[in-house]
């Protein structure tokens, strides 16, 4: 792919930046944004051809802000990329671990390193992005402050690593999704992401999931989110194996569409599996 523009959240050195560079080749133009929703806006307005956003982490789970954006806006998932996320504690040169009282990072990264932060009695403060927190620590030049982020973020901001691989679990993988205004069907697509709500009656979810079971379609993920405007009602994000062109998959989609108050195909794309 050449001459394409991709929007990502954060600044160089963020994990989104890393995932973008792994998924696309190096001939892309990139646009960086402050918020996850800015990535949607950049693609929706045509400023970018694609967007990339974190979707799920193997230890802390879904990045729910992105789930809600997918449900409420009209972009499609056209690909995914998993990367191994190794978090490091970094500070300005000359400081030491016993001097650190405050650590900045994205809330997801703070959660992924909660044990280290608790054990060292450091106060966590969320920022919009891991690499943004590294910039902040460099700007403040205060030996009591640290950031949690990638090796690249440390390098780009001339910070020293005080402690490496501080995530709670060494197997820490984050899945990023690639977003586009068009669905981009592909015969190689083997994963389908769906969003739907069910009527509030006994067996409604059981019935919906039964459509997949009867067609022998393998379920990969089921996540429920509050259906915002109706307290204690839920909507579902479901990933399954399959291609929309497969008649069995098409039959299930037809049934879901007919019987769900809300139904949306979020995307049909090639799965990326990363073993570490
Ligand atoms: O891309 C980054 O650096 C981010 O700060 C975001 C984010 C996320 O929201 O999941 C990305 C990967 C890691 O899981 C931690 C943080």
Q: Which of 20, 55, 57, 149 maximizes ligand 1 atoms within 8 Å of its Cβ, making it the mutation to test the pocket?
A: 57
Per-residue tokens: 149: 């982020």
Closest residue to atom 13 of ligand 1, CA basis: 109
Ligand 1: atom nearest CA of 19 is: 1
How many angstroms is it from 232 CA to the middle of ligand 1? Answer: 29
Q: What is the pLDDT of residue 182?
A: 97
- Residues with Cβ within 8 Å of 165's Cβ and at least 6 positions away in sequence, in order, are 86, 87, 88
User: Residue with the nearest Cα to atom 4 of ligand 1?
Assistant: 129
Is the reported ipTM for this assembly greater than 0.90? yes
Return the biggest CA–CA distance within the chain: 64
Ligand 1 mean position, distance from CA 129 (Å): 6
Please give the pLDDT value at position 1: 58
Contact 34, 8 (CB under 8 A): no
* CB of 42 closer than 8 Å to CB of 53: no
DSSP secondary structure string, 29-61? Answer: EEEEESSHHHHHHHHHTTS-SEEEEEEEETTTE
pLDDT at site 2: 63
Query: What does the block give as tokens for 123?
Result: 């106060």
In this predicted structure, what is the pLDDT of residue 233? Answer: 84
Q: Which atom of ligand 1 is nearest to the CA of 106?
A: 5
With the most atoms of ligand 1 within 8 angstroms of its CB, the residue from 13, 109, 274 to mutate is 109
- Residue to probe by mutation, ligand 1, list 16, 18, 19, 167, most atoms within 8 Å of CB: 16
Which of these, 6, 42, 40, lies nearest to 26 by C-alpha position? Answer: 6
Residues with a CB atom less than 6 Å from ligand 1:
10, 14-16, 54, 57, 63, 85, 106, 108-109, 129-131, 174
Q: Are 8 and 32 in contact (CB under 8 A)?
A: yes
Task: Tell me the pLDDT tens digit for each residue of 83-122.
Answer: 999 999 999 999 999 999 999 999 999 999 999 999 999 9
Which residue numbers in the chain have pLDDT < 70? 1-2
The rounded Å distance from CA 49 to ligand 1 centre is: 22
Asked if 249 and 217 count as a contact pair (C-beta separation under 8 A), the reply is: yes
- Measured in Å, residue 175 CA sits from the centre of ligand 1 at 10
């Amino acid at each position: 792919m050449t001459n394409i523009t991709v929007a990502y959240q954060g600044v160089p050195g963020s994990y989104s930046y890393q995932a973008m560079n792994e998924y696309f080749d190096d001939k892309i133009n990139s646009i960086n944004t402050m918020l996850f929703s800015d990535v949607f806006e950049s693609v929706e307005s045509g400023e970018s051809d694609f967007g990339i956003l974190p979707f799920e982490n193997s230890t802390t789970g879904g990045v729910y802000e992105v789930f809600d954006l997918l449900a409420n806006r009209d972009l499609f998932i056209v690909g995914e990329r998993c990367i191994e996320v190794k978090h490091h504690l970094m500070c300005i040169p000359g400081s030491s671990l016993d001097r650190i009282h405050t650590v900045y990072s994205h809330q997801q990264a703070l959660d992924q390193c909660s044990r280290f932060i608790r054990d060292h009695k450091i106060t966590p403060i969320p920022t919009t992005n891991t690499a943004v927190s590294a910039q902040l620590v460099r700007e403040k030049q205060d030996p009591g402050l640290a950031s949690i982020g990638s090796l690249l973020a440390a390098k780009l901001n001339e910070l020293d690593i005080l402690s490496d691989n501080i995530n709670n679990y060494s197997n820490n993988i984050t899945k990023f999704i690639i977003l586009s205004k068009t669905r981009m069907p592909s015969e190689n697509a083997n994963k389908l992401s769906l969003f739907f709500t069910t009527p509030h009656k006994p067996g409604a979810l059981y019935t919906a999931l039964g459509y997949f079971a009867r067609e022998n379609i393998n379920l990969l993920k089921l996540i429920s989110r509050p259906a915002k405007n109706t307290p204690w009602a839920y909507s579902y994000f479901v990933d399954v194996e399959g291609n929309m062109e497969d008649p069995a998959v098409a039959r299930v989609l037809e049934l879901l569409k007919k019987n769900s108050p809300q139904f949306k195909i979020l995307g049909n794309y090639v799965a990326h599996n990363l073993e570490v």
